[in-house]
């Protein structure tokens, strides 16, 4: 299920930089989003997208964009992991450029709540409901020690017993390639357990736990809502994913439909 989570992440990271235009898929050096600090050694799934694109091109060449493939793959990843489906709106086209500097707009694991809210507002997403719902994608997938080692033994909003477990996983702190599940209870299932973890101070990343531990914030009752109703979470997540997929798409004669997702035509 790690690959399913990685495919959602590709779509998410793509859409936060100049909109949902598959710019994250373009090969290159540090002049492309793929090799920016926000994605280097962490973004995965490019070979899966290549395989999907190859299969699609062999059937209907020049019709389905790489941007649409990312949106569909994200939806199907959720469904395969036990979540509900939604209708993916299609018609996106692919960019001819990449914007590595724009990757600073991507929410980071170390962001506090105010920074997360600012980044969501910047792309036209709601900074409370959409933020909490889309963060729920961390109900599956994994994270490297570098993204949370700073919380071990220091964060006051991290359950001490859980902190001790994480210390065993990351004995060298951030200086390791080790990783662990974002949801330590049901790591391979798309469910609402992510929010129950936050209620128990078992959010792995600072960006996750801040949704519940930040004082006097409007995200806390939303976390409580989703923790008590998986149906509510699923329904809201689907609507938020549709909104995410509609961030600044290229349509009409703008952009192109790449034959190979890694390079422009």
Alpha carbon distance 261, 80 (integer Å): 24
Going from the C-alpha of 101 to that of each of 14, 32, 36, 38, the distances in angstroms are 13, 9, 8, 10
What are the φ/ψ torsions at residue 83 (nearest 5 degrees)? -85, 180
Residues near 49 by beta carbon (within 8 Å), at least 6 away in sequence: 7, 10, 25, 66, 69, 70, 73, 261
- Is the distance from CB of 113 to CB of 198 less than 8 angstroms? no
Q: What is the DSSP letter of 89?
A: P
Alpha carbon distance 205, 150 (integer Å): 10
What are the φ/ψ torsions at residue 20 (nearest 5 degrees)? -85, 85
Interior angle at CA 3, CA 120 and CA 196, nearest 5 = 55
Alpha carbon distance 232, 239 (integer Å): 11
| Residue 32: other Cβ atoms inside 10 A | 20
The two counts, helices (H) then strands (E), for the chain are 10, 2
- Is the distance from CB of 107 to CB of 265 less than 8 angstroms? no
What are the φ/ψ torsions at residue 162 (nearest 5 degrees)? -65, -40
Catalytic residues: 13
């Amino acid at each position: 299920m790690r690959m399913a989570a990685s495919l959602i992440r590709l779509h998410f990271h793509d859409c936060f930089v100049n909109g949902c235009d598959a710019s994250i898929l373009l090969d290159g050096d540090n002049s492309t989003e793929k090799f920016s600090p926000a994605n280097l050694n962490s973004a995965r799934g490019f070979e899966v997208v290549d395989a999907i694109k190859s299969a699609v091109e062999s059937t209907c060449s020049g019709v389905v964009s790489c941007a649409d493939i990312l949106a569909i793959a994200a939806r199907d990843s959720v469904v395969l992991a036990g979540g509900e489906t939604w209708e993916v709106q299609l018609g996106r086209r692919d960019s001819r450029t990449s914007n590595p500097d724009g990757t600073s707009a991507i929410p980071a694991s170390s962001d506090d709540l105010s920074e997360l809210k600012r980044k969501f507002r910047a792309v036209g997403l709601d900074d409370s409901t959409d933020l909490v719902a889309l963060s729920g994608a961390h109900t599956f997938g994994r994270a490297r020690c570098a993204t949370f080692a700073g919380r071990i033994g220091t964060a006051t909003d991290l359950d001490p017993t859980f902190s001790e477990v994480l210390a065993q996983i990351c004995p060298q702190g951030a200086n390791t390639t080790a990783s662990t599940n974002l949801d330590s209870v049901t790591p391979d299932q798309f469910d609402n357990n992510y929010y129950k973890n936050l209620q128990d101070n078992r959010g792995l990343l600072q960006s996750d736990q801040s949704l519940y531990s930040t004082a006097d914030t409007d995200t806390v009752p939303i976390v409580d809502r989703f923790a008590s109703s998986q149906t509510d979470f699923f329904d809201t997540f689907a609507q938020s994913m549709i909104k995410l997929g509609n961030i600044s798409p290229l349509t009409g004669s703008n952009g192109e439909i790449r034959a190979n997702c890694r390079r422009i035509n």
